[in-house]
Structure 1
């Protein structure tokens, strides 16, 4: 599936709105499950923008938790697709720092499950 750049531009714009950022992050998170998205430079640029916005404008836990889902999905999909995106590790680490304990526990369990599901891991 190819990335709709018009829709992506709207989501990028929504990242600047307090009332629209969480739905935008959730939609980006869904898109991040698709290899075509993580291979698209415009999608990755919007993910960079999301990280910047979370660091500079909307730093409440709820925003970071939505960002954590996005960044984890990007990280996992990049790994599966063989796409190198080293800054994604920083995004996940920062989002984990800012998320509540329940979100941290869910994310860590998800990371463990991902490692276990890779071929060659018990």
Structure 2
């Protein structure tokens, strides 16, 4: 979970089938999409990029949440990997596209108005 207005941080990792770290020989660039539904039922999808640098097996990626002025119920968004470059440096690559769900908790302030929508 992340508090509204803060960033949710994730770690993208390269591992073998046994879960052991694998080192990238070349930079590996990837895109991830995060999707959420607003209180007014609008579906929003944004894209973030990540690079696992050569010589490493992981990289952080962050998604900034927006702090509005309204008191709201807990919201959530999903994030998943879309694309990965330079896969040819490995014999066999499987990209885990399982979405990760993150809850956004509202900041607490007794004077915060509720959303009129």
Q: Structure with the greater relative contact order (CA < 8 A, sep ≥ 6): 1 or 2?
A: 2
Same topology, TM > 0.5: no
Structure number with the higher strand fraction is 2
Query: Which structure has the greater CA radius of gyration?
Result: 2
Structure number with the higher helix fraction is 1
- Under a length normalisation based on structure 2, what TM-score does the superposition of the two structures give? 0.25
- Under a length normalisation based on structure 1, what TM-score does the superposition of the two structures give? 0.25
